[in-house]
Amino acid sequence: MPREPLLEALVSIRAHIPEDAMSAGLLGTERAGHGIRVRDDGLILTIGYVINEADEIWIGSHDSRAVPGFVVGNDFRTGLALIRPMMPLPGRSVPIGSSESLRVGEPVWIAGSGRADPQVVDAEVVAKQEFAGRWEYVLDEAIFTAPPHESWSGAALMDMAGRLCGVGSLVIQGFEADESVHTVNMFVPIDILTPVMDEISIRGRRSAPPRPWLGMLVHDDHDTLVVVGIYRDCPADQAGLRPGDVVLRVDGQPVHNLAHMFRTVWSLGDAGVDVPLLVLRDAQLKETTVKSAPRGDFLRKGTVQ
């Protein structure tokens, strides 16, 4: 399928985040990425971290026009967000495909917005597997492609029929697949968003209760789960957790890796549930209980969220 018409569905995104926002220290106050027009009414899909807590968003079209935008909805389970321009922008929507249909070894192409070279990278699916991020995030089956696109945030993962199969999230070095080491892009599969996209575009979030959130960053160091960051005044901070704590048990259950730890927390109930933890601090065991909360309650509510 010709690529040029489909590239008109891609937009650039620039967002300003206030300095007092929770994510400002980690992700910065000036963020840039891509968006993908998924409906003819102008609805745009992007990776959530580009626009989280933004008080100003600018959306640029393929013909270099730029207009302000606003957040329609945010989904912390997938890490994806929906935005919309405040004024019409030229362009078309992209057909939505299925991430399930992609196979390891299959050729794909990765597209970013604007006129930068390379705008499009021909790549291959090198793996489809579980991914856990230290920010309390798990994908059952993320998509990993190589070679990487240098501007991956919100980039479109397209199959050879020109259908959207995923949204760019990360670049990862030293990724092992097929007995080789690659630098890869990680994509959020589109299939986990399509069942809830309508309700998110209407309600601003999915209708299901939010998951419990602790407000800490955890690093998996060879299956040793080390707290490396605590968001100020968030549940983990209020419970007295500190960077350097090693998480050993959740609700009495030993936890072995990031995905296992986060899924064990989520299995306890909805946001607001108490989360008992056993941690190792300075060679001493310490029990504490974190009163979880919805992640969205701690994000700064800007003019566009």
Q: How far apart are CA 17 and CA 147, in angstroms?
A: 31
Q: How far apart are CA 288 and CA 236, in angstroms?
A: 10
DSSP string of 86-97, one letter each residue:
SS-----PPPB-
Determine the pLDDT at residue 5.
Answer: 76
Q: How far, in Å, are 1, 25, 152, 238, 256 from residue 168 at the CA level?
A: 21, 22, 5, 33, 28
Determine the pLDDT at residue 1.
Answer: 62
What mean pLDDT do residues 263-276 have?
98
Q: How far apart are CA 221 and CA 211, in angstroms?
A: 25
What mean pLDDT do residues 254-267 have?
97
Q: How wide is the angle at C-alpha 262 spanned by C-alphas 256 and 263, nearest 5°? A: 90
Predicted confidence (pLDDT) per residue in 175-211, tens digit: 998 888 999 999 999 999 999 999 999 999 999 999 9
Query: Could you tell me if 81 and 43 are in contact, meaning their C-beta atoms sit under 8 angstroms apart?
Result: no
Determine the pLDDT at residue 304.
Answer: 46
Predicted confidence (pLDDT) per residue in 8-20, tens digit: 899 999 999 999 9
Determine the pLDDT at residue 305.
Answer: 43
Residue 197 sits at φ, ψ, to 5 deg, of -65, -40
Determine the pLDDT at residue 30.
Answer: 97
**E strand or H helix that includes residue 138:** strand 137-146
